[in-house]
Amino acid sequence: MDNLSEALEKLKLASTDSATDSVESCLDCLLKALANNNTEASVKIQEMGILPLLPTLLNPQSSCTPKVANIIAEVAKNEFMRSTCVEAGLIPPLIQLLNSSDQEVLLQTGRALGNICYDSHEGRSAVDLAGGAQIVAEHIKSLFQNTEPENEKLLTVFCGMLMNYSNDNDSLQAQLINMGVIPTLVKLLGIHSHNTALTEMCLIAFGNLAELESSKEQFASTNIAEELVRLFQKQTEHEKKEMIFEVLAPLAENDLIKLQLVEAGLVECLLDVVAQTVDGEREEDIAQLKTASDLMVLLLLGDESMQKLFEGGKGSVFQRVLSWIPSHNHQLQLAGALAIANFARNDGNCIHMVDTGIVQKLLELLDRHVEEGNVTVQHAALSALRNLAIPVVNKSKMLSAGVADVVLKFLQSEMPPVQFKLLGTLRMLIDTQAEAADQLGTNGKLVERLVEWCEAKDHAGVMGESNRLLSALIRHSKSKEVVRSVIQGGGVKHLVTMATSEHMIMQNEALVALGLIAALDLVAAEKDFVGANLVSVLHKLLSDERSAPEIKYNSMILICAVMGSEPLHKEVQSLAFIDVVSKLRAHENKTVSHQASLTEQRLTAQS
């Protein structure tokens, strides 16, 4: 290190004088010391105040310039030196050097700026202020077609510099997108795919930029899908495939790019990865299997890409995905069930799938997971069944296949996501199916669990679905036994609360169910209606101008229905309902105004 101190002293003197030879030998000594022990040499350079001397040495005409830029690049490898480089005023002269035509100057300058920007807010701000990114982007645009090794090296450094400049910084990434770097980088990837270092740098840059929503439109206007699929097909190493996956995942969130990836043949690549890794026990096999199957499911989230792969239920991809469900591998079972849920997004697909026996496969899968209890698989299989149960023609077929019985096996689950899907599946199944609603509504264990979940305040979704299923059991069965079962289970108060929901559809479902309770067994429900303040809830709904016409209509129907109970009748009289109802006779909705007249007559007759 003594040689270094000596060289630094000499450099101090020489920098004021323009003796190139003595400067050059000092710089060589510095580079040697940095190569030997970068951190120690950097500390020494900082202590002796050398950095502020370097701007004068960054002269475009000087032969020393590449070495000075190289020293800055080496020093800036240390985190503690980056803001010091900025404070020493090195950014403006370095940016000036980007206008040089000397390849070595450009290379070392690009390295220096890239290293100063790495994880450094000060570095990035200074480069931004001096307009450095724009110049580098222009260089890449003018050089990208040149495949000479020296030029590829320079392109790699420039891509790395832009990546360090914008990494994890939305506004700087947006700036690069506005400069139009994406189309250039995509072309560059196509031309230089033989160059590993440059390809990797491009992929990392894409990975950064693809996180930004505004980038997706630009990516979609390029042939990125073809380039990435072509590159993927060439790869044999796990790490390289993983890098491409990291770009594909954020890009595939865009529906147009999903379709482009499907058309470029990505699905076939993913199916190959699955086939190669399904029996693998190495960590990388397990990771690749998960990434490939997850990406497959993501591609199916786009309507067009999904329909293209479904091919009327005859598509080879659809058939391959089906074969994942009986697999012994949990990850594949999960992906298979999620894929079915995604294919089941329109009635035509759902009807075809139910007719071709998919329900049985899903039920067998669920049966395997009652004991094994893999929550994600349970959740995915229930999601698929729920979607398949939406078309009216599927409901009775699925009920006959025993779907409700298998779903009820998960009633004891303590996992809210499973509870939520279980409730949704049962609600879809019983819609318009009186017999099934009757059977489930008189199932004491189910009603008890629903009432318990109606109080799951920590899980709004579960609470909402429980209320809706409770109401649906009554509305679709219209059965006195079901009504009695809900009253005995303590469900009435929850339906009254549901009538005050912020969601109109839930309010309405609750009011219709309460109306049926009042019509079918008012005597048994009377005590619960009083305890839950039903009459005052109805008064609020009728008085509230924001209540939808159907809410007002069903509230009046319910008022009429409870008039047969003495305590409820007294409450109706004490709240002066007649004033609220008579105003509604002038309501713009004819059904509401007509019901208001009938209700007023009823209230007047019984007052």
What is the percent of the chain with per-residue pLDDT over 70, rounded to a whole number?
Answer: 97
Say if residue 119 is exposed, middle or buried (CB neighbours under 10 Å; 0-12, 13-18, 19+): exposed
| pLDDT given for residue 62 in this prediction | 84
How many angstroms separate the Cα of 399 from the Cα of each of 293, 354, 385, 445? 30, 11, 11, 19
Q: What is the pTM of this model?
A: 0.82
Cα(517)–Cα(526) distance, integer angstroms = 10
On whether the CB atoms of residues 77 and 43 are closer than 8 A, the answer is: no
| pLDDT given for residue 427 in this prediction | 97
Other C-beta atoms within 10 Å of 319: how many?
11
Say if residue 566 is exposed, middle or buried (CB neighbours under 10 Å; 0-12, 13-18, 19+): exposed
Tell me which long-range contacts 260-263 makes (C-beta under 8 A, separation of at least 24): 260/220, 260/224, 260/225, 260/226, 261/225, 261/228, 261/229, 261/299, 261/305, 262/299, 262/305, 262/308, 262/309, 263/225, 263/308
Other C-beta atoms within 10 Å of 390: how many?
16
Cα(18)–Cα(57) distance, integer angstroms = 9
**Average pLDDT along the chain, 607 residues, taken 10 residues at a time:** 67 60 82 90 88 88 91 94 94 95 95 96 95 95 91 95 93 93 94 92 92 91 94 88 92 94 94 91 90 94 92 88 92 95 95 95 94 88 97 96 96 93 96 96 96 91 96 97 97 96 95 96 95 95 92 95 93 88 92 94 81
**Checking phi first, is residue 302 left (phi over 0); if not, alpha (psi -120 to 50) or beta?**
beta
Cα(367)–Cα(379) distance, integer angstroms = 13
| pLDDT given for residue 151 in this prediction | 94
Other C-beta atoms within 10 Å of 149: how many?
8
Cα(70)–Cα(51) distance, integer angstroms = 13
| pLDDT given for residue 2 in this prediction | 57
On whether the CB atoms of residues 5 and 44 are closer than 8 A, the answer is: yes
Cα(607)–Cα(593) distance, integer angstroms = 21
Other C-beta atoms within 10 Å of 371: how many?
7
> Quick one: three-class SS letters along 254-315?
CHHHHHHHHHCCHHHHHHHHHHHHCCCCCHHHHHHHHHHHHHHHHHCCCHHHHHHHHHHHCC
| pLDDT given for residue 61 in this prediction | 83
Cα(470)–Cα(517) distance, integer angstroms = 12
> Quick one: three-class SS letters along 8-58?
HHHHHHHHHCCCHHHHHHHHHHHHHHHHHCHHHHHHHHHHCCCHHHHHHHC
| pLDDT given for residue 1 in this prediction | 42
Cα(586)–Cα(567) distance, integer angstroms = 30
| pLDDT given for residue 166 in this prediction | 93
Say if residue 215 is exposed, middle or buried (CB neighbours under 10 Å; 0-12, 13-18, 19+): buried
Cα(81)–Cα(116) distance, integer angstroms = 8
On whether the CB atoms of residues 575 and 535 are closer than 8 A, the answer is: yes
Q: List the end-to-end C-alpha distance of the chain, in Å, as a whole number.
A: 106
**Residue 171 neighbours by CB under 8 Å, 6+ apart:** none
Q: Which residue has the tokens 């240390």?
A: 78
- The three-state secondary structure class of 2 is helix
Q: Provide, for the chain, the percentages of residues in helix, strand and coil under a 3-state DSSP scheme, each rounded to the nearest 5.
A: 80, 0, 20
